[in-house]
Chain A
């Protein structure tokens, strides 16, 4: 057993199922299969993803996926690192697992010389909003109406930004 009760590990192709299971158990949004496949089989190597599984006492309980958005001309999205998924099983919240995953994304962002983290959060997800704000994120722009398509929760989202 590792010394630390919380640990992170890469998402290997064989364990993609665990990643999908975690995402679908925690988040109300339904993602297409390709969204997960690109973690392990990135299409023509264009995009860069930072994905990890988080383990609590050797049990996979959290998942994170972030995308590097490089400085491109005419891009709609601002450049930086965009957190697509950051999920922890309900019973394991408050144990520093999310923080650890966020730290991982931050360090990857710095490694790639990026100065901003972005994340979309459903506007009714108070828990997540407070969580991010507590960790240095601030709302960036107005509420996006109807941002989420396949979701059980609110379709509206806000963009949060953290400058590094």
Chain B
């Protein structure tokens, strides 16, 4: 954070001498001499311990020195005193900077605002204010601040652009266009060479706004086109101009000009699928297969080396024999060239047009029959590779295996084959064996990062965390740590962190199960004949692993959430940076991206993973937890002497484990294993703060996960909100979808008297349930009623919904279990195993 200039110091509190001392301290702060500044402030505080200016500035100084805790104390002290006596503009400004530096943006805005209200003449504050307001989504406030700032500093393009952007995001298109035009006039003929690029960006931006404002109004669209023609010579992005023109002509209904421009685009990049679709639409033949066939026939001649003209006909031709011939042309040409991605290229056809599965089966098998591996080994092996993927898709594992084995036997030096072999084995549920093949492939070329990464992923899926870390560390910077875990956190390698989190969670489930089995065995039968010491050691080790794995899992999930908060925060600098650099277009893209940050699949995956743990921690009855602890410590007490010996043996490894698991430096994070995290008093609150708050307040309504919302609110006891979640889910996913039913049943059963929810909440929820069509609310208290059959009769049976019911409805667990087992009977063995091992 660069120090700011402070103005308006005339309002300072205190006497003249202190005043000059304070100014001295302020100067020292600005020149980053924080320690000296603190010294000067201490002199003031010695005489007058209530001097809020000094307190606030000292806080800011301490923060810059990295003493966050002390800084907070001083700032709190200052703010609490200000309540009674008011504060100078400088003091408020200082506090605003402090709040901003501690990411407390809404408070920062408050203080900056107060500073201005209290007479600060420092206009720079408006710029900082605007950036903060945009950061928290207060666009209206941002516009006002931008405007004031712009009025004070008209001489900079950045301020004009900033104002235009603020007007644009507030929907004031005409004003935004006006602002940009005004500036264009001001600089006309005065632009130097380096400014031309910036100027071009602003011209495009203006055209963008005009285009958006025009909608489907033809007159306005013509205006946009005229403007574009006018400025075309100054715009660098010729491609963008063509694209825009094509769109406008299409919107204007001028199919000739539209198709002309799209053809120019195709000529520039004949491999971009979207242009072909747009060409169809421009000519108006998107529903006329015959004409489309002719069109693509011609395009194929024009662009013989491009993929789209050959591929697109496969998506619409109906005649089977023709389709077969086209498909053969397309695929066999690629196989002959040995294109590894041939199957990936046509996989979407398998999904969208299932007739391709049999076509492909026939065509490629026939082709395979006549490929001579001696004459053309390259197309032979890639055809094997293709067929292996084809059979994997069909879940025909033995054929898939036999083809990939053929490929490996012929050419054992191609790493793709080992990856596919691993994938096939993984799908069969043979996770360990899969890792061995990946490892075999990895050894072929140690500097191939791709196979290294794949191997690591397979190792994590097989719960072999140690080996995974060892392998991944070959490609990381391991300067001051024993392995790459820390570096992977630093470079935000979320794929690894989330996979590791999930692996830890599975390891937790495994060792928790073993721990309870072992404990109950010892409790009922004693230690028996075997060596007591080694059994004690097993028990202790299991107890430790259980804790450790759970903590680490949560810790890793949390690291992902932290990253995303950082992403959001990283936008702050760009609110001013992009204006200075003159890149409003890219800036607006960033804002759009920023709004969707917490909808990112990776974030959602980490959040859901964490939710499982938090919910489980919340659900776990205190009695059973206590009973376990008593039993465990009871056994340890009975064998105090041996137990102590075992302890000392185990603690030797603890330090090594600690080093291997560290995700950041010791000083930044003392809770390496996440043990504090899992022993928190209020898991739901931690979940809210760390994960759910950002998601539930910042994700858009259409994509939000209402099942998670239901689960969360169910545990906070807010049944009315559960009802809302259920209704929203039904709205977006249908009344008969599995989860709609599962949540409805769960909610209804929660309104029974025996359930520990507030009576009022239950009443509201029950009333809501009554309005759900087909839900037999009258059966709520009927102990005999078969809810599982009701569910299967009325709702789609999907696995997650069944598992949801399995977890929530204790009374009918067995019935749901049967349904789950039925459901997974046709799934891949890998999925079956996962459900059996970790869900039931």
Residues of A that sit less than 8 Å from B by CB: 13-15, 17-18, 20-22, 25, 56-57, 59-61, 89-94
Contacts and interface: CB of A to CB of B under 8 A. Distances in A.
Nearest to B409: A25
Nearest to A17: B443
A19 B411 CA distance: 13
Given A59-B378, A94-B374, A89 B410 contact: yes
Contact of B338 (A57, A89, A90): A57
B411 A59 contact: yes
Nearest to B408: A25
A57 B374 CA distance: 14
Given A15-B446, A21-B412, 6 more contacts: A15-B444, A15-B445, A17-B445, A57-B378, A59-B378, A89-B412
Interface in B637-663: none
9 contacts: A14-B447, A15-B444, A17-B445, A21-B443, A21-B444, A60-B413, A89-B411, A91-B377, A91-B410
Listed from nearest, the 7 A-B pairs whose CB atoms lie closest are A17-B443, A91-B377, A14-B446, A60-B413, A14-B447, A17-B444, A91-B373
Interface string B343-382: 0000000000000000000000000000001100110110
Interface in B409-439: 410-414
B412 A25 contact: yes
A93 B381 CA distance: 15
The residue in B380, B444, B446 that gathers the most chain A C-beta atoms within 10 A of its C-beta is B444
A109 to B, nearest CB: 27
Interface of B: 338, 373-374, 377-378, 380-381, 410-414, 443-447
A61 B411 contact: yes
A91 B412 contact: no
B444 A91 contact: no
A92 B377 contact: yes
B412 A22 contact: yes
A42 to B, nearest CB: 19
Contacts of A18: 413, 444-445
Contacts of A15: 444-447
A13 B381 CA distance: 27
B379 to A, nearest CB: 10
A16 B271 CA distance: 38
Contact of B374 (A13, A59, A60, A93): A93
A94 B375 CA distance: 9
Contacts of B411: 59, 61, 89, 91
B414 A17 contact: no
A13 B338 CA distance: 28
A90 B445 CA distance: 22
Contacts of B443: 17, 20-21
Contacts of A91: 373-374, 377, 380-381, 410-411
B249 to A, nearest CB: 40
B380 A17 contact: no
A71 B103 CA distance: 76
Contacts of B338: 57
B413 A21 contact: yes
A57 B378 CA distance: 8
A131 B298 CA distance: 51
A17 B413 CA distance: 9
Contacts of B414: 59
A33 to B, nearest CB: 12
Contacts of B380: 91
A81 B445 CA distance: 28
A61 B377 CA distance: 11
B4 to A, nearest CB: 52
B373 A59 contact: no
A78 to B, nearest CB: 34
A94 B380 CA distance: 16
A1 to B, nearest CB: 11
A90 B412 CA distance: 11
Contacts of A92: 377
A93 B475 CA distance: 36
A62 to B, nearest CB: 10
A13 B446 CA distance: 8
A95 to B, nearest CB: 9
A17 B410 contact: no
A21 B443 CA distance: 9
Contacts of A57: 338, 378
Contact of A14 (B381, B410, B445): B445
A151 B25 CA distance: 84
A18 B440 CA distance: 10
Contacts of B446: 13-15, 17
Contacts of B412: 21-22, 25, 89
B708 to A, nearest CB: 45
B420 to A, nearest CB: 16
B384 to A, nearest CB: 11
Nearest to B380: A91
Contact of A22 (B373, B410, B413): B413
A90 B414 CA distance: 15
A59 B413 contact: yes
A92 to B, nearest CB: 5
B760 to A, nearest CB: 69
Contacts of A25: 412
A90 B375 CA distance: 11
Contacts of B413: 18, 21-22, 59-61, 89
A60 to B, nearest CB: 4
A163 B380 CA distance: 39
Contacts of B447: 14-15
A89 B380 CA distance: 14
A56 B447 CA distance: 21
A17 B412 CA distance: 11
A56 B444 CA distance: 16
A31 B325 CA distance: 50
A17 B411 CA distance: 14
A59 B381 CA distance: 11
Nearest to B415: A18
Contacts of A21: 412-413, 443-444
Contacts of B444: 15, 17-18, 21
A15 B413 CA distance: 10
A20 B440 CA distance: 11
Contacts of B378: 56-57, 59
A26 to B, nearest CB: 9
B408 to A, nearest CB: 9
Nearest to B414: A59
Contacts of A17: 443-446
Nearest to A26: B412
B118 to A, nearest CB: 66
A14 B415 CA distance: 14
A90 B378 CA distance: 13
A18 B446 CA distance: 10
Contacts of A89: 377, 410-413
B372 to A, nearest CB: 9
A21 to B, nearest CB: 5
Nearest to B372: A91
Nearest to A20: B443
Nearest to A55: B413
A53 B382 CA distance: 21
Contacts of A56: 377-378
A131 B377 CA distance: 21
Nearest to A95: B377
Contacts of A59: 378, 411, 413-414
A18 B338 CA distance: 20
Contacts of B410: 89-91
A145 B410 CA distance: 32
A104 to B, nearest CB: 19
A136 to B, nearest CB: 25
A61 B338 CA distance: 15
Nearest to A92: B377
Contacts of A13: 446
Contacts of A94: 374
A23 to B, nearest CB: 11
Nearest to A53: B413
